[in-house]
Amino acid sequence: MNGAKRQTLRQAVRARRARLGMKSQTALAEAAGVSPRTVARLEAGQRVGETSETLIEAALSWGTGSIDAIYSGGQPTPAERLELEPEQPSREEQLRELKTMAAALREYANELEERLNALSQEGDEQQAV
């Protein structure tokens, strides 16, 4: 790798670390789960293992292959964002679920009332004896 590409990689990794609040190579290494030496080698423009590259890319919120793209003179790609909030059910689905829950609660209330009546009758019968 020529000096210009090494410099580009170094600058890209350092700028991304700074943007993400990682002030040191050690901070990036900890976030990626690799050794600080591996991050230092990468920032020096040396190749590191494929697994290490993937872990570092993930820690930098770059898509897989971003480091190779920089080595080739390209730009890193953003990692795909995960949907943080689950998709909300439609209004109809929510209403259907609420109606089902209300029916189950009515049924449970009826069972409780039957039990209460049965216990009251038993108590009345025992008092009469």
Tens-level pLDDT at each residue, the chain (129 residues): 577 888 888 899 999 999 999 999 999 999 999 999 999 999 888 889 999 999 999 999 999 999 999 888 889 988 876 555 667 788 898 899 899 989 999 999 999 999 999 998 887 777 766
Residue among 58, 23, 26, 56 at smallest CA distance from 42: 56
| C-alpha–C-alpha distance, residues 119 and 20, integer Å | 66
| pLDDT attached to residue 18 | 92
Q: Which residues contact 121 (CB under 8 A, 6 or more apart)?
A: none
Threshold 0.75, pTM exceeds = no
3-state secondary structure of 78: strand
CA angle 79, 27, 12 (to 5 degrees): 50
Produce one character per residue of 52-74: b if its CB has 16 or more CB atoms within 10 Å, e if not.
Answer: bbbbbbbbbebeeebbeebbeee
The predicted structure's pLDDT at residue 19: 92
